[in-house]
Chains A and B, each alone.
Chain A
């Protein structure tokens, strides 16, 4: 017992010591960086040359980003895609890629769709869909990648105002929500998020963003095959010590293509012809099979 407490105390002390050391080291770095002497051979020099009116202290950091593929074709053998988001921090003060000076959060948000969440209840011994809440707009896809866990990056208020995190996924309520309490609606919201996470349509990757250079970073987001097509928004946020420094939005588009597109648009635009075609195909298949097999037999 006493040995265990002894170990725990030693561990605690060493952790505190390590923490203090790191804080000191970081403070040292910051002090060094605060001196406005351009480091030779670094990319800050051309940036300052372009802007001769810049003040002596460096301008505020800005983030820019783009996605690897702006247009994704959803064809018959679409099995999902990995979207690579890469970006750069302008006027980066980060000494090295590993410094962890900035936090970057990448949020990829899919086309909003209508969605109905239903809850089964036991009625007369049977489990039936009873209550339902319909949402006018729910992102069909929502992925978060960040340099570290979200709660370490910024406070809840900051995350909420930027719409980062599963609790703050933008969902617009539709019919059936009147007369329901906040808590009840929250239950349905949570269920939507939970079910979407199960389908891998909503995902969160801690440590999913990594810096490659002092200002260059990349993140990869897996989009599964069951995703709804449409425009995707990729929002990139740059944080420093829990403060939002800059944000940037890039777009990409998932489009049906090839035979899928033809079939889908035919089914929606010419439903009668599409139905007749299906029947003709079915009849032809049945007759063809019977004649072929009759000959074979």
Chain B
């Protein structure tokens, strides 16, 4: 309740004159007068004001306005994200797009911008690996060219689909469903395979090579090409199809697609393990570069400031990750990677299944057109 004496004292102290009754009527709680400085409406106590000022200063130092995502963010979050994902990608030798895009979406970046920007970051993280493989001549150029041709067609289609889904408001659903499907499928396969490998290793302490089936349906397709570096003479259709499929997923999900491409090259095309990594890296660099340009051109969805923050974090994180990865055996790494992949898949699935706290959502500005 109102305290008359306190109010009078307060007014006297601050040199305010006038009719206390009218003042109280205007400001009935009475305490509002005491709790706030009347002229500015700001918190009156010194500590509160100091905390406020300090918070603003801190914000000012680390805040960046993302011109395309149209939001102001604390850049340390994205540097940290880049470093964490870079660490994992360095450790497991994967691009990390499948981790980064969901993280960006969770952080509130519009889905289209997350996908478009992440493809730019994958270019940066794959290019150094590709150059290293190039120096070691571990690349089948003919195969890379065929995959790339397919990849560009797939990416162009994927970017178009992103634009169309964005307009009807179902992009988030589609991206989430893609993630759930592919991450859980690939994760489960990897988990089973690496688990068997670990058990076999522990049983007879030696790594066995898989027995290869020498002829399957792939070898009966037309348009055969000789892939010299891979020592293969197979039809161009399967690599084209694989390239297109991975390119399409890259366009939609903001991933490089190495975790699909590599198993496909080993098990479907039967390429020698030595050239698989280099060839897929080279292909990923060019397809993601192409995807980035398309996202920028058609959906205006590439944020260069965000991409730069992710790149800087990623490059640093990858170095530490690579060092950590050398301490683990390949099948152990695959086992942990599989668990990680499944976890991200489940986390994405949870957003679809869990009852949302707020059933309404709004998209405005550039990202709200329909």
Does A195 sit within 8 A of B, measured CB to CB? yes
Q: Which of B18, B68, B311, B364 has the most CB of A within 10 A?
A: B364
Query: In the complex, A282→B118 CA distance in Å?
Result: 11
Complex partner residue of B19 from A98, A218, A287, CB under 8 angstroms: A98
Does B105 sit within 8 A of A, measured CB to CB? no
The answer to whether residues A188 and B302 also contact, given A76-B65, A286-B127 and a CB cut-off of 8 A, is no
Q: Is the CB of A208 within 8 A of B41?
A: yes
Chain B residue nearest in CB terms to A194: B360
Q: Is the CB of A79 within 8 A of B364?
A: no
Q: Is the CB of B297 within 8 A of A271?
A: yes
Which among A21-29, A45-53, A178-186, A231-239 touches the partner chain?
A21-29
Of residues 18 to 51 in A, which have CB atoms within 8 Å of B's CB atoms?
18, 21-22, 25-26
Chain A residue nearest in CB terms to B62: A77
B220 CB contacts on chain A under 8 angstroms: none
Complex partner residue of B64 from A76, A191, A228, CB under 8 angstroms: A76
Complex partner residue of B18 from A21, A99, A115, A191, CB under 8 angstroms: A99
Does A56 sit within 8 A of B, measured CB to CB? no
1/0 contact trace for B155-186 toward A, CB 8 Å? 00000000000000110110000000000000
Chain A residue nearest in CB terms to B117: A278
Query: In the complex, A22→B362 CA distance in Å?
Result: 48
Does A272 sit within 8 A of B, measured CB to CB? yes
Shortest CB-to-CB span from B133 to chain A, Å, is 12
Query: In the complex, A244→B56 CA distance in Å?
Result: 38
The answer to whether residues A191 and B360 also contact, given A79-B63, A127-B352 and a CB cut-off of 8 A, is yes
Shortest CB-to-CB span from A231 to chain B, Å, is 15
A208 CB contacts on chain B under 8 angstroms: 41
A16 CB contacts on chain B under 8 angstroms: none
1/0 contact trace for A190-201 toward B, CB 8 Å? 011011100000
1/0 contact trace for B341-355 toward A, CB 8 Å? 000000000001111
Query: In the complex, A175→B167 CA distance in Å?
Result: 12
Does B124 sit within 8 A of A, measured CB to CB? yes
Q: Is the CB of A25 within 8 A of B300?
A: no
Q: Is the CB of A77 within 8 A of B63?
A: yes
Q: Is the CB of A25 within 8 A of B304?
A: no
Chain B residue nearest in CB terms to A134: B370
Of residues 92 to 139 in A, which have CB atoms within 8 Å of B's CB atoms?
95-100, 113-122, 125-129, 132, 134, 138
A143 CB contacts on chain B under 8 angstroms: none
Which among B20-28, B139-147, B210-218, B226-234 touches the partner chain?
B20-28
Number of A residues with CB within 8 Å of any CB on chain B: 82
Chain B residue nearest in CB terms to A275: B296
B305 CB contacts on chain A under 8 angstroms: 76, 263
Q: Is the CB of B71 within 8 A of A226?
A: yes
The answer to whether residues A125 and B361 also contact, given A98-B19, A281-B304 and a CB cut-off of 8 A, is no
Number of B residues with CB within 8 Å of any CB on chain A: 78
Shortest CB-to-CB span from A106 to chain B, Å, is 12
Q: Is the CB of A191 within 8 A of B362?
A: yes
B124 CB contacts on chain A under 8 angstroms: 282-283, 285-286, 289
Of residues 216 to 237 in A, which have CB atoms within 8 Å of B's CB atoms?
218-220, 225-226, 228
Q: Is the CB of A287 within 8 A of B127?
A: yes
Chain B residue nearest in CB terms to A22: B21
Q: Is the CB of B60 within 8 A of A79?
A: yes
Complex partner residue of B132 from A140, A264, A290, CB under 8 angstroms: A290
Q: Is the CB of A207 within 8 A of B128?
A: no
Shortest CB-to-CB span from B32 to chain A, Å, is 6
Of residues 286 to 319 in B, which have CB atoms within 8 Å of A's CB atoms?
289, 292-298, 300, 302, 304-305, 307-308, 311-312, 315, 319
Query: In the complex, A76→B61 CA distance in Å?
Result: 10
Q: Is the CB of B304 within 8 A of A263?
A: yes
Does A176 sit within 8 A of B, measured CB to CB? yes
Shortest CB-to-CB span from B17 to chain A, Å, is 7
Does A293 sit within 8 A of B, measured CB to CB? yes
Query: In the complex, A98→B6 CA distance in Å?
Result: 17
Of residues 24 to 79 in B, which have CB atoms within 8 Å of A's CB atoms?
25-27, 32, 36, 38-42, 56, 59-61, 63-65, 67-68, 70-72
Complex partner residue of A282 from B38, B311, B369, CB under 8 angstroms: B311
Query: In the complex, A147→B308 CA distance in Å?
Result: 46
Shortest CB-to-CB span from A150 to chain B, Å, is 14
Complex partner residue of A78 from B39, B65, B127, B132, CB under 8 angstroms: B65
Q: Is the CB of A210 within 8 A of B307?
A: no
Does B194 sit within 8 A of A, measured CB to CB? no
The answer to whether residues A282 and B123 also contact, given A272-B297, A275-B296, A276-B293 and a CB cut-off of 8 A, is yes
List 28 A–B pairs whose Cβ atoms lie within 8 Å, in order of A's numbering.
A22-B22, A77-B60, A78-B72, A99-B19, A113-B365, A114-B364, A114-B365, A116-B364, A116-B368, A118-B363, A119-B360, A127-B353, A127-B359, A148-B26, A175-B370, A192-B362, A195-B358, A195-B360, A207-B27, A212-B39, A263-B68, A271-B296, A277-B304, A282-B289, A282-B307, A283-B123, A285-B124, A285-B312
Q: Which 4 A-B pairs have the closest CB atoms?
A: A275-B296, A290-B128, A225-B72, A100-B26
